[in-house]
Structure 1
Amino acid sequence: MKKLLKLIRSPYPLLKYDLKMKLSTLFILATLLSMKASDTYGQFTKVTLDLNNVTIERLIDEVESKTDFEFVYKIKDVDLERKVSINTKEELITTILKQIFQNTETTYNLNGQRIYLIKRISQSVKSSALNSANVPILQSTITGTIMDSGGQALPGASIVEKGTTNGVTSDFDGNFLIVATSDNPILVISYIGFSSKEIKVDGETEIIIQLQESTAGLDEVIVVGYGSVKKNNLTYSVAKIEGDELSNRPISRLDGALQGQLAGVTVRQSNGTPGEAPSITIRGASSINAGSGPLYVIDGLPVSDSDIIGNLNTSAVESIEVLKDAAAAAIYGSRGAGGVVIVTTKKGVKGRTNISYSSYMGIQNTERTVEMLSGPEQRAAIKEAYEDVNGSGSFIDWDLPADENYNHLKDFFRTGQVQAHQISMSGGSDISTYFGGIDYFNQEGIVEGTGFERISSRFNSTFKLHEVLEIGASLEFGYSDKQETQSHGKGNALNHVLVHPAFLPLDLYRVNTFNPQRAAPYENPQYGLAVEGSRSLDRAEFIDDHDKRGQVLSNTYVKLNLANNLSLKSSFGIIYIASDRRKFNPGNRWDATQADRWTSTSFNWLSETILDYNKTLDKHNISMLVGYTSQKESRENSFIQGIGFPNGSIPTLNAAADYSAVDNYINEWGLVSYLARAIYSYDDRYLLTGSSRRDGSSRFGANSKWGTFSAFSLGWNLHNEKFFNVDAINKFKLRSSWGQTGNDQIGNYDQFGLLYSTTAVIDGESRGGFTIVSGQVENPNLKWEKNNSLDFGIDLGLFKNRIQFTVDYYKNITSDLLLNVPLPTISGFTQGRQNIGEVVNKGFDFELMTRNIQNNNFTWNTSFVININDNEVTKLNSPGAQILSGPWYATNNITRVGDAIGSLYLWEADGVYNDQAELDAHNVVYDSGTPRVGEIKIVDKNGDGRIDSDDRKVVGQPMAKYNFGLTNSFNYKNLDLRILVAGAGGNVIYNAAGREPGNFSFGRPQNKYKYFVDRWSPTNTDGKYPRVSYGGFPYSDGDAKETTLDLFDGDYWRIKNVTLGYTLNSELFKDFVKSVRIYASGENLFLKTKYKLGFNPEANGPEIGAASLINGAGMDYTSFPNARTFSLGINVNF
């Protein structure tokens, strides 16, 4: 409704406290919020009017009924009875007002959601007269257009009257209208990526302003540790991605969405089980025994548990910055060696309440499958093997149709469903801001018995209680439920299904379908019973395995503005996590009843105080901070296993007949730190940054608890030099940095001498009871691994920033590696952990962004990122030392000087012995068994005439040497299309599931890959793969050597995501709907790889989650495939 100003009342119009305010209040836990209209609302709001010969008063009522605008005026200043006619369709309010009041005695001032109608007065009015009025009164109305040097409009440019807070922004066409309040106004115009400009109006009322493009994103702010820096002043290597680029994709975890998006950030999704955490490394693996993953910082809270990221509300993320070099990460000291990932969540902004809702639903199936032998092909191979063993050629055929054939993978995989819903509300006033959001995600796995469900909520708020006092708080609740079947390691469910005989029904021996009469024809004494696939299906369906996790993250702060440019901020944060995994097997024909339960609780608190100073003097700008932080975590883990339940309907542990395992432990760690940083710039040309942090950690020895980590970096903006005048180059920055960080990702008590209880043994015999023995030698000098990093970078912008690229060369040297060193026998220990060893990572990060086409209707932008990294061990615990490791049955990984960490270490296969002459000519003796014609020919690497462990060689590294991503974004009118391609290469994969390609052991007629059709036989002497055998491979004693026959290039690329969206015209909806966008999205749509046998070219080891770098790395035990997802979604803003 209209507001009639009464000068005898309050000198300022009162703000409305309406229903929206009340809802907002409830939404942020009953905190009183004062809200004020957004300054940009009026500049971008469009109105449709169809009025003929109506009064000004009627027109005002019509506008107020259709919008959130309020008209404020004095009755004597406005001719309300004047008749007007107007017909507009989606016209800017500024255009309508200009049309209605042009050449009249009334003018207007648009201030957020308020439209002040004012009597036009002369320029001679004095300031004292102005101050006596209680509304913004017009001295002069200035209209104009903001455009770039090429004549393209610049929407959203800032126009501010110098020396005042009076300002507006340009509309979609670059137009603006501002009411000046001074006699000789000067307008300051600014736009991101363009040089600011000051314009003296000199009595003009209409002006056209052209801005010159400068460096890209000069005013863009990059979040770094304990603050932020303008991109133009950044002197170290940081990568950034906006949260909105990740939130609409049908993925279960935020960290998985980073793949292919940031140069130098390697994301490897080694297992496709829903909710599975990816492995993330930044610029290569930097440690052998300590962790190489990054530190995560969520709104100031540092965490090393990647599952905390997995439970985050993805739609609440504002941006993600990755600190890649040590100069950037040194402010986090002993925890920054693996890089730092800073997650900033959304905050409220001053203005009207904004409500958004987004949702998508979709279906999922397997991204890839593999070919196995058909039923007839497998039967023929088994017969061939049996006849070879018998020699007589006799074969007892099964009483089965010769052509019986089943597609077990089709029966094993299913079509899963995925859905996500999110709602958020934000807003604020001069006093406070708020943001609140709730997110729900549910993914049904493509294998029965797998799935992931998450619900999370986040609330952020700030309150400015006084000019010198500000407080703020953030709070997040998260809950997840991960359901899984056996999906890791040798003998996982998929591996069992894969090798199930193709001529046997997959459900033949399942509990709920078993029929002795149906099974009888398949049970031949010569071949035994093959139940792998049936067992896996039963376990997937009947074993109840849920890992439930709840987390609370909270951080509050108090900020005091002590003086101009000086502030003190103190914060206190907590992280509480409780997890409860329960697994119950009700028993079947091959498993006894069993219940397992793992519980864990952790409480982590962080206290920080930061003093911040920022000052600009002429061309000098300096920003400094000093701070103190302390942090402590307490964790308790328990495990109990019960067996022998009376039946499969009672899963509680108190019903178990016996407890086969019970474990419980508590541990703690603490950290105290002092930190400082200074950033200096002169004339936006010369840049210098220095930082230092001193950490004291409970994890290290008494003599080495404290460490200092420092960094220095330089930058030179050549484009700001007077002598640099190259039209084609508008941004040219040189950067260099050095820094040192540490790695504290080790056990909490590795520095102590530890004692363990065990069964008492006297004279080699167990005497019963328990005794205490030494289990770990003390090392008071144990300290953190140190990472020294050197980085040289170039930032370049060409052709008015249509082409922008950044290239970095880096060399990271990680020293003082924690390794086990042999100890003298007299010490009573075989080995102890010491700081010795060194690893080097060096390579390039490259980022390219281009604006290929950009006009009023169509835009096409491209982004390409790539990292090329070389990983090399340069020092171990002694000259010639090597670390042999691998899974439980073999040592297939080696770490030694000159090679990458965990390199694959195999025998080299040189085909097969095609005939007896070739076998005789090889003239070597195998350390076990005697080869036959048609079996694998292994290279005698050292030429000693023997094939033994000394003939193994390094055949490649498990970590990709390069990772890349290519994104193309297209916009045509209301349509938008985004295509993301990601890939990696330079690594190898050993297919451990196929390590015995020709062996059909008695009682287990396991199926083989399709390639085994091309095997050696008396009728196919040129076959590529070895002959069949029965009972062992290679050679009759069953010695299974891991050879390059099952080694493949790990190179791949995939169409990671395609999203097509359409924004509906707002006129289709009621006034309360601001925008609606519908979209279709596809994830993992196409895969091209040289790895022919596996489901997933990112597979990386048999262990649960991301594999150890030295235990089974680069090995595939039939890793679960990633899901291919198709979804439809909608975004609505109110």
Structure 2
Amino acid sequence: MVTALVVVAAASATTLQAQVATAPPPTTARRARITGVVTDLASKAPIFGANVTILGTPLTGTTGADGRFVIVSAPPGIFTIEAKRVGFAPQRVENVRLVADSVMTLSFAMNISATRLDQVTVSGTIDETSVAKATITVEKLTLEDLPVPPTASAASMLAGKVAGLAITRPSGAPGSGVNIVMRTPISGITEGGAVPSPLFVVDGIFLNQGQSVTTQDIESLDIESIEVIKGAAAASLYGSRAAAGVIAITTKRGKGLALGSTQFQLRGESGIDQYQVTLDKNQHHQFMQDPQGNWLNATGQTVPREQRALKPLGIMDAPYTSPTYNQAALFYQPGSYSTQTATVQGNSAATNYNVAYTRTINPGVLENNEGYKRQSIRVNLDSRLSEKLSVGISANHTRGVQDVSAPSFNNFYRIDTDVNLRAKAPFPQFGFPYVIVPDSVTLYTNPLYTQFIADNVVHRARTLINVNGVYRPFSWLSVAADGNYDRGDLNQVSYTARGTPLVTSSGGLSPSTGSLYIANNITDGYILTGTATATKQFGALTARLSERAEARREYNPSLNTTGTDFATEGLKAMAQARTKNSSQSITDYRVMGVITTLGLSYADKYIGDFLWRREGNSLFGSANRWNTFGRASVAWLLTEENWFPFTSFNNFKLRYSFGVTGVSPNFSNQYEAMTSDGSGAIRRSSLGNVNITPTFTQESELGLDLSWNSRLSVSLTYVKNSSKDVFVNIPAPAVSGYQVVVTNPARLGGTVYEATVQGAILTNPRGLQWTMLLVADHSDLSTGQFGRTCFADGLQHKCDGIRLTEMWGNQIVRDKADLPARHINSLSQFDVNDEGFVVPVGIGNTWRDGISKSLWGSTVIVDGVSYGWGLPLPRYDANGQLTYAKIGDSNPSLKYGFNNNFRYGNFRLYVQAAGQFGGNVYANSNQTFYASGDHPNVDQYGKPDELKKSVRYYNAVSNNNNLYLANFVESGAHVTISELLLGYTFEAKQYPFLTKIGVGRMQVDLMGRNLATFTRYSGLNVMAGSPTVRFDDATYPLTRTFTSVITLTF
């Protein structure tokens, strides 16, 4: 809450117990004077050491012991005045009109707990705007909201903290990224098309869209705040890159320090990584064996393991007589995780800066794999050279090395439990101490060996530079300029030395002839902007008019070379390859834009924001190079009305916005593409489309923001969006000779409901303090028009009226009425078993008779059709075709996140839980291992005979892993304890031994990440896939991380 009392009078010499702003201007100019007091909202006590700043100038006053401050010489004009103090939410008064030869008196009541409505957005609009007065939805997260930095992608720290954000993590590999969809997908309907990801902006720098896993290069410990700009209306400022939303990151700059202070900080974190979920191996088998444990063939003769025969009924219930092993414990090893950071920050009236270096090592849980390593250095500097001129620079360089995992996780889970992955080889080869082919049945390569010989490393480098300046020649006019540069280098080298023993299809070993793959990819981009902003007051009306020009270019050359058949062993050089193949590509696109914004505020209660953007983009077809985007948004602050009856509300705001932004086509869509078939012949593949346009996304948003007694804030938002001109591959005209062409025939639409509740439950400054954050959202998506013939695209069915999140596939018969019509008079020869499947049993039998009548493995002939006894049947339609219908939906009924911060004295506890209700996941991992007989459900040991089923039964349930089946669609409902922090702060004034070593504060924290997931889902990863296609396959497992952190502040 901020209160402001304005007093206009002749300047007088008033003595105040406060520090006075430095760097006064020449005395010839007529000046204004600002005085006031800063107090604690809860206790009404004065706050000492708060900085009160005239934003955009170097003028700052600091409060004394009585909470009072003074700025003795301020320029006339319209300004925003901000009060900041460590431990309190920053507060500001906007549209303060300073008049020459007068005194302005302000009072600030600061709250210990900050809500998002107390924050200031610097990314949603051209000018800084208080979220409490914003006309669009902008979620701002500060360090208080982000206490546990992630071990992987920086984007993952948003999970469970922002309503309307769907984040999935398909792999736990070190350095891997996440999939993000804001609200509803606005494109991605074409065959194999990916849903566009949000635009990431770091300190004003648009991150190049050509860089893979772009957030891997962002050091999370550098982050000061994150602004999430959702939807077309809010993101229209950013044009055709931003229809999927914007995630704007601001890094630390030293602004939060007390005025005139310098801080040096050392932070060390170390701990362990553990795999979270793995497939339990079945502990019994279905093969013939004598009492001595020898394997037998069908005639009862002793044979080697690989020649053993199935038991007559094929039931997996026989105990192993040989030792069994915990394959996960043999394969996965706890990994160490460590991060070291050194930071220097400073803040003065004229300059603030931050210099930071961070080193991260995350080896993961695979032996002989170094995982991911990264080093990052950042320098941020802001200087207010005068009242009229401010400049700033941000520079960051990151280098990372990722050791790509090599084993097939699907094959790993198929290795039987009686196989010892660490069985010593009698004659070790290539330095590997274990047996290379440990399973004589599957003949799979030992995954430990696969990783042992792997040499597949990705080197990354990223350089981000921003240079900015603001010049204010007059009190009503400011001119700003930004220059941004983003350079990304990715170099991948994958090498297999000549002579390396490789496993053949028969299980033997054959020396490799050698191979080397080298990929070099560069992303090189810049953005230049210039902005002029004029601010004027007309009575109670304040108007801000801004004009911005923008130029952007991104250049992406790549060269990939593969060499095979090496002449020399042990020489890692492409020159040694006898056969070489190379491919090269260059993409180069440019954007020019002009943006006009008009902001209006009448009496600080009726607020409007209007934006128009005209963009020229070389990715648009030559016939449609220039397009227009924009928004109109309004807000009404009812608490500013004299008649508003509820005085306990600090803020009660209604807002509405409508906006249009776009999605750019791919670089190749407007050009003809041809391919070589390997024999020298050239074939036409994709016809260029010079008329292709961007996808246009319109969005209407209605919202309510309220704050009650400075303790509880609520934001409720309803969104309706629609996208037209969505990209789809359609067959090219036959006369062209090409196969497909990308056009804009499709339409998508959706509705979203979002809720954010933030509150200070307990606020006793000398006792327990508790703040909480609850976010939740629900979305619906529809495909209004597809624009071409329907087709199946994996789990998705691309067609008019079919949602992108729907799962389509086939079914197993569960009702006798769904049997083929020929069996209408023979239904008694079928039965419904305990798993709900209709199975053929023949005359006089039930599904329980498989063992008692020795029916497993036999056939049943019903109406002239032969069936396997007791085996489930795929469902067919009246035309004799496999039924194809909706079998699930990836879209959850509700996503939520619940965050809690507790403080008591020097102790702090933070807990985050996040999850979803409803929504489905396709358990492809289950289907795969049903088909191979490796799923624990295939193990029948301990069941009554009448309930036991053969291995063939489970293969039939999975249809030998050949179809997408409804019976492998499971509920994705879950809750994850995703973040936990328990910490204690040692202050030097309480612990004098710290002073002796020069330490002012020591923070000790215990952190946990991805600690536990509670779900009924039976697959490997309930958070797998993308938000639109939740597909769970065997990949690098998700890990839980436990670390301890010590932070020393000097």
Give yes or no for TM over 0.5: yes
Q: Which amino acid aligns with 2:938?
A: F
Question: Hey, what's the Cα distance between the residues in 1 that align with 2:962 and 2:42?
Answer: 71
Q: 2:870 aligns with which of 918, 929, 934?
A: 934
Q: 1:435 aligns with which of 354, 362, 365?
A: 354
Alpha carbons of structure 1 residues 112 and 1074: separation in structure 2 relative to 1, 3 Å: farther
Q: CA deviation at 1:576?
A: 1.3
1:17-96 paired onto structure 2 within 5 Å: none
Q: Which amino acid aligns with 1:345?
A: T
1:897 and 2:800 aligned: yes
Question: Hey, what's the Cα distance between the residues in 1 that align with 2:110 and 2:515?
Answer: 72
- Matched-pair contact (CA < 8 Å) for 2:296–2:303: no
Question: Hey, what's the Cα distance between the residues in 1 that align with 2:958 and 2:17?
Answer: 94
Q: 1:530 aligns with which of 417, 442, 446?
A: 442
**Matched residue of 1:749: which SS?**
helix
Alpha carbons of structure 1 residues 230 and 1042: separation in structure 2 relative to 1, 3 Å: closer
1:169 and 2:63 aligned: yes
Sequence identity, in percent? 20
Q: 1:578 aligns with which of 471, 483, 489?
A: 489
Question: Hey, what's the Cα distance between the residues in 2 that align with 1:317 and 1:1036?
Answer: 47
CA RMSD across the alignment: 4.1
**Matched residue of 2:157: which SS?**
helix
Q: CA deviation at 1:279?
A: 0.7
Alpha carbons of structure 1 residues 727 and 503: separation in structure 2 relative to 1, 3 Å: same
Please give the per-residue CA displacement for 1:1011-1031, whole angstroms capped at 9, x wherever unaligned: 1124999x84545xx63239x
Question: Hey, what's the Cα distance between the residues in 2 that align with 1:968 and 1:505?
Answer: 45
Match of 1:330 in 2: 236
Match of 1:321 in 2: 227
**Matched residue of 2:146: which SS?**
helix
- Matched-pair contact (CA < 8 Å) for 2:839–2:872: no
1:481-496 paired onto structure 2 within 5 Å: 481-486=401-406, 493-496=408-411
1:333-732 paired onto structure 2 within 5 Å: 333-349=239-255, 351-374=260-283, 376-377=284-285, 379=287, 396=303, 398=305, 402-448=321-367, 449-486=369-406, 493-508=408-423, 513=428, 529-532=441-444, 534-586=445-497, 587-590=500-503, 592=512, 593-645=514-566, 649-659=570-580, 661-732=581-652
Deviates more, 1:273-282 or 1:977-986: 977-986
Q: 2:167 aligns with which of 241, 256, 267?
A: 267
**Matched residue of 2:956: which SS?**
coil
Match of 2:811 in 1: 908
Q: CA deviation at 1:282?
A: 0.7
Match of 2:1022 in 1: 1097
**Matched residue of 1:707: which SS?**
strand
- Matched-pair contact (CA < 8 Å) for 2:653–2:704: yes
1:222 and 2:121 aligned: yes
Alpha carbons of structure 1 residues 1056 and 280: separation in structure 2 relative to 1, 3 Å: same
Please give the per-residue CA displacement for 1:487-538, whole angstroms capped at 9, x wherever unaligned: xxxxx522222110111222459798579xx999999xxx954332x43211
Question: Hey, what's the Cα distance between the residues in 1 that align with 2:36 and 2:570?
Answer: 78
TM-score, normalising length from structure 2? 0.80
Question: Hey, what's the Cα distance between the residues in 2 that align with 1:373 and 1:648?
Answer: 42
1:1041-1060 paired onto structure 2 within 5 Å: 1041-1060=963-982
Question: Hey, what's the Cα distance between the residues in 2 that align with 1:520 and 1:357?
Answer: 46
Alpha carbons of structure 1 residues 1060 and 221: separation in structure 2 relative to 1, 3 Å: same
Alpha carbons of structure 1 residues 347 and 395: separation in structure 2 relative to 1, 3 Å: same
Question: Hey, what's the Cα distance between the residues in 1 that align with 2:437 and 2:366?
Answer: 27
**Matched residue of 1:338: which SS?**
coil
Q: Which amino acid aligns with 1:420?
A: T
Q: Which amino acid aligns with 1:621?
A: T
Question: Hey, what's the Cα distance between the residues in 1 that align with 2:668 and 2:53?
Answer: 60
Question: Hey, what's the Cα distance between the residues in 1 that align with 2:957 and 2:220?
Answer: 54
Q: 2:1013 aligns with which of 1077, 1087, 1094?
A: 1087
Match of 1:872 in 2: 782
Q: Which amino acid aligns with 1:1133?
A: T
Question: Hey, what's the Cα distance between the residues in 2 that align with 1:169 and 1:544?
Answer: 60
Q: CA deviation at 1:180?
A: 11
Q: Which amino acid aligns with 1:932?
A: G
Please give the per-residue CA displacement for 1:1044-1095, whole angstroms capped at 9, x wherever unaligned: 332221222110011011011313222743322111111111111222131x
Q: Which amino acid aligns with 1:540?
A: Q
Alpha carbons of structure 1 residues 914 and 986: separation in structure 2 relative to 1, 3 Å: same
- Matched-pair contact (CA < 8 Å) for 1:290–1:743: no
Question: Hey, what's the Cα distance between the residues in 2 that align with 1:498 and 1:837?
Answer: 41
Match of 1:1064 in 2: 986
**Matched residue of 2:412: which SS?**
helix
Q: CA deviation at 1:452?
A: 0.8
Deviates more, 1:421-430 or 1:358-367: 421-430
- Matched-pair contact (CA < 8 Å) for 2:16–2:68: no
Q: CA deviation at 1:959?
A: 4.5
**Matched residue of 1:783: which SS?**
coil
Q: CA deviation at 1:702?
A: 1.4
Q: 1:953 aligns with which of 864, 870, 885?
A: 885
**Matched residue of 1:750: which SS?**
helix
Question: Hey, what's the Cα distance between the residues in 2 that align with 1:663 and 1:787?
Answer: 36
Question: Hey, what's the Cα distance between the residues in 1 that align with 2:426 and 2:617?
Answer: 54
Alpha carbons of structure 1 residues 212 and 327: separation in structure 2 relative to 1, 3 Å: same
- Matched-pair contact (CA < 8 Å) for 1:216–1:731: no
Q: 1:294 aligns with which of 193, 198, 211?
A: 198
Q: 2:913 aligns with which of 962, 981, 985?
A: 981
- Matched-pair contact (CA < 8 Å) for 1:839–1:874: yes
Please give the per-residue CA displacement for 1:162-185, whole angstroms capped at 9, x wherever unaligned: xx97944366xxx54669999xxx
Match of 1:1029 in 2: 952
**Matched residue of 1:224: which SS?**
coil
Q: CA deviation at 1:905?
A: 1.9
Match of 2:736 in 1: 827
Question: Hey, what's the Cα distance between the residues in 2 that align with 1:961 and 1:577?
Answer: 39
Structure 1: gaps of 5 or more residues: 1-106, 115-130, 132-141, 183-187, 199-207, 487-491, 760-767, 887-891, 1001-1006, 1101-1105
Q: CA deviation at 1:109?
A: 6.1
Please give the per-residue CA displacement for 1:108-164, whole angstroms capped at 9, x wherever unaligned: 9664899xxxxxxxxxxxxxxxx9xxxxxxxxxx99994547657766667899xx9
Question: Hey, what's the Cα distance between the residues in 2 that align with 1:520 and 1:190?
Answer: 68
**Matched residue of 2:952: which SS?**
coil
- Matched-pair contact (CA < 8 Å) for 2:841–2:860: no
Number of equivalences: 926
Q: Which amino acid aligns with 2:408?
A: A
Q: CA deviation at 1:211?
A: 5.3
User: Which one has the largest radius of gyration?
Assistant: 1
Q: Which amino acid aligns with 2:270?
A: M
Question: Hey, what's the Cα distance between the residues in 1 that align with 2:131 and 2:624?
Answer: 37
TM-score, normalising length from structure 1? 0.75
1:882 and 2:790 aligned: yes
- Matched-pair contact (CA < 8 Å) for 2:40–2:110: no
Match of 1:5 in 2: none
Alpha carbons of structure 1 residues 252 and 1040: separation in structure 2 relative to 1, 3 Å: closer
Question: Hey, what's the Cα distance between the residues in 2 that align with 1:520 and 1:973?
Answer: 58
Question: Hey, what's the Cα distance between the residues in 2 that align with 1:919 and 1:821?
Answer: 55
Please give the per-residue CA displacement for 1:383-438, whole angstroms capped at 9, x wherever unaligned: 9xx99996x78885749972431111111110101111111212244443322111
Alpha carbons of structure 1 residues 177 and 990: separation in structure 2 relative to 1, 3 Å: closer
